Structure formats: structure tokens, C-alpha cells
Structure 1
């Protein structure tokens, strides 16, 4: 049986007896697919994985008998354990208690594209790890799960950033031959940085992606994210959010523009998403901001949270 990572819901029907509690298939995330399961005791059929599968185990301890490409493993998995199964693996598992886990599916093409910056094709071999402790992978999995719980409010850009950070971590920690990552101390060239920033400003209303910005700089998304942050001190995702909030502040000064239209013109997928993020960044709702600005007449309101409270999420 072959399992296609781009058809996450089909995986539930083919491999598991229960549908996932949460699934990313409707969130338009391209680089990674995510599913959160709470599953009763079960024995999966034997299936051939077409994607790299990173499994983050949650909940109570579970005894699992795993057959991984002909090698048997008798595991006791606890909350925080990570399982890494590479694309091309033949997998069958059985567990005897209710199991809770997050499946992260990474397409081999995406993995290969990022690894090409530091590895030759014959080196880009990910190691199988049926059971390992890795707080960073656990944290990334939990953040993606939280995004699905909030209806994917953090857009495709952030999901791609997390997927890029996850692959970069796998490259550093779980490769047959660990890569020698190039060191960059000066950030992006000034002309290149300006091109990226100009593109962001010109396309704030669109669904910007990390791949899109990295293509302008003509480097891999992983190196682009590192160099961009070295250049201006914030991640690409944070920069885009900052610019969208500043554009929104300008538009909110015009009472003739509905707040829902402000959200769309600034690239937010919905009114509720815009309101939540605007309040997180400024300490007030868009409606309150507009009211206070009007009360101040021609004054410019610039109330912001302290820098230490700017963003509590993972920054990549």
C-alpha cells in the first residue's frame, strides 16, 4: 500500500480506523502536512510511505510493536517522544492503548530542495529513528497543532517557515552524513535585501510565501531566512506581519474603509484573523485603534507592546 502525503485525509482511511481530530489539508500549507490523532488500540496495515513522516507522541504512555522495513522494535512511547520514518520506508505498527500523536508529513522534493544547499544528492539520507527525544521537533509539532486548533490563523508563510526550520534541524541532527552548513556573518547584500523588502511592500495584499521571497534572493529558503534575520533582526514572517500592521494603521485612519476591507487589503485572510493579530501586536482592536485615532484628531497613534512581548511564538 502506498501513502501519498498530499492526500492526508486518504491516509486516515487507508492506515487508521479513525479520522484525525485536526488536519491541515484545508489550510493551504504546501511544504508540510499535519494531522492530529487520538486513536484507540489498533494494528495498521503494512504501508509504503511516500513522504518523510515525523511523529510527535502526546498523552499517556503507549506500548507499540513496530515493524520498520523488516526490523522489529518493541517500544514504550511517552509524551515528548519523536519517531522519524523516512520516505520509502515500509511501516506497520500495533499499539494496545489509546494513542495520541501528531503526524508531520514532509514531501521528499521539499526536503531535497533544502538539503541541496549543503549536501550532494548521495549524502541527503535521513536516518530512521523509531524513538528519540527532541524538544525542538516537539515544540514545532505543538505549534502547528495549535495553529490548526485556531483554524490555521497563522498563514501559509508561517507554516512554511516552521517546515523550513524543521528540515534544517533534521539536516543538522539526523543525517547519515551531517552537512557542513555554510556560515554567513553579514546577512543579505544590501541591494538584495532592498529587492525583497520592495517586493513585500508591493504585495502585502497577497499570500506571500517564504519560497517566493527566497527566489528573489536566489538562495534556498533556509539560508534566506537566516540571512534576512541577520540583516534586520527579525524573521521574514515577523517582518511581513509588521509591515501589514503598519499598512493597516494607515488605512484605519480613513473612516470610509470598512475594517473587513482593511484586513483584505493588508493580506489577512479574514476579519477575525486581522483583529486577533492586530490586538496581539498593538494591544488594542482595530475598532479601538480607529476610535482613539479619531479622538486624537490629526495625531498619530503609536501604542505598541514592549519589545519583550512582541512575539511569543517560535521565530525562524
Structure 2
């Protein structure tokens, strides 16, 4: 047993059994197969980093919104199943979203960019489970649902930045970022410019 003899913090993440089983759907895994989770401790670099990201997100008041939480939930479940060798027993084909389905998703997101959007609600637009939708969207666009939502927000933000009458803070609120600083950080990370710099170059 390892002794802890210094101040420390720990993160407890609870994943419902139904989420684990959803992550393992299609390979014959049942609730009886999940006992290995309690057998011994293990390390996984991907899961560790994901948990640190969740920790950081929670410390800052969840600025990325419920979509990030939903996707993180599924990623944790999928990582645990992969670590147990449950994934990949049989090769599962992942279908792509049809053009009309992708258009419905885009319209749904664009109409609600300033709202808290959950993965469950978006998946329901095309009648898929959260796990199936996440896989189909990744296969279609190369992006996770959260990444796809951020892309839609940035696309709309760029369009609105072409209107000099709108402030960056107003645009950030309109497209669903928690504040101007959040949009600026995301804009800079994804596009290599701050919103102000991008606007200045386009309007000069």
C-alpha cells in the first residue's frame, strides 16, 4: 500500500454502467464483464490527461459547456473498455452521416449557439445514441461533437466580426463562449489570430 505523507488533491470520476456498456456495444460485453475495473490499479496516459482536463474544466466553472462533459464521459468509458481489451473484438463499421443529417445538425447547432447544448440533444436530432452519433460524426467530419460545435461557433464568430458595429464581447456571448477571454483564447488557438487582429486584417 502506498503511503500519502504530503498535502494532495484527488479527482473522483463516476461513470454510469450504462455509459460503459454503450461504449462496448456491439462486442458482446455485458455488465458481468466489468468486474476487472475493481481488480487492480492501472495507469493510462490518455485517461490521465483526460482526467486532468476535466479537473481543469471544473476548476474554471465549466466554460466549455455540457457538450465537452458529455464527450469526455464517452471518451473515458471508451478508454476503459479499450484498456480491458473489450474494444476491437470484432471490427465494427461506422457509418457516415448523410448530407441531410449533417445539415440538420448544423441548423440545430447554429440556432442554439448561445445556449448550453448537450450531446444527447444533438444526437437525438438524427435519432442516434450518443455513442453512435459521436462515431458517425467523427467518421464524417473528422471531429468530435465538441470540436464540431466549437468549429460552428468560430465560423459564426468570423462572420459576425465583419460587422464593425459588434463588439468582440457581444459576439462571444452570441456564439456561446463563456466570455470574451474564452473566445479570444479559442480563436487564437484554432486560427492563429486574436479576434481583433483577424477583424483588423479583414476590414482594413
Cα 1:289–1:262, aligned 2, differ >3 Å: closer, same or farther? same
Q: Deviation at 1:230?
A: 0.7
Normalised by the length of structure 1, the TM-score is 0.55
Structure 1 residue aligned with 2:64: 154
Structure 1 residue aligned with 2:50: 140
Which runs of 5 or more residues in structure 1 are unaligned? Answer: 1-74, 77-94, 296-316
Instruction: Find out whether 1:263 has 2:184 as its counterpart.
Output: no
**What is the SS of the residue equivalent to 1:100?**
coil
Deviation per CA, 1:95-134, whole angstroms, max 9, x where unpaired? 4412635323224265367358445765463430442122
Residues matched between the structures, number: 201
Structure 2 residue aligned with 1:272: 181
**What is the SS of the residue equivalent to 2:12?**
strand
Cα 1:286–1:122, aligned 2, differ >3 Å: closer, same or farther? closer
Deviation per CA, 1:78-110, whole angstroms, max 9, x where unpaired? xxxxxxxxxxxxxxxxx4412635323224265
Partners of 1:240 and 1:137 lie apart in 2 by 23
Alignment of 1:1-316 (within 5 A): 75-76=1-2, 95-98=3-6, 100-108=8-16, 111=19, 114-115=22-23, 117-118=25-26, 122-123=31-32, 125-127=34-36, 128-174=38-84, 178=86, 183-295=92-204
Q: Deviation at 1:153?
A: 3.3
Higher relative contact order (CA 8 A, sep 6+): 2
Normalised by the length of structure 2, the TM-score is 0.82
Partners of 2:187 and 2:103 lie apart in 1 by 26
8 Å CA contact 1:112, 1:124 repeated in 2: no
Partners of 1:215 and 1:258 lie apart in 2 by 34
Partners of 2:113 and 2:21 lie apart in 1 by 26
Partners of 1:237 and 1:150 lie apart in 2 by 18
RMSD over equivalenced CA pairs, Å:
2.7
Q: Deviation at 1:188?
A: 2.4
Max Rg structure = 1
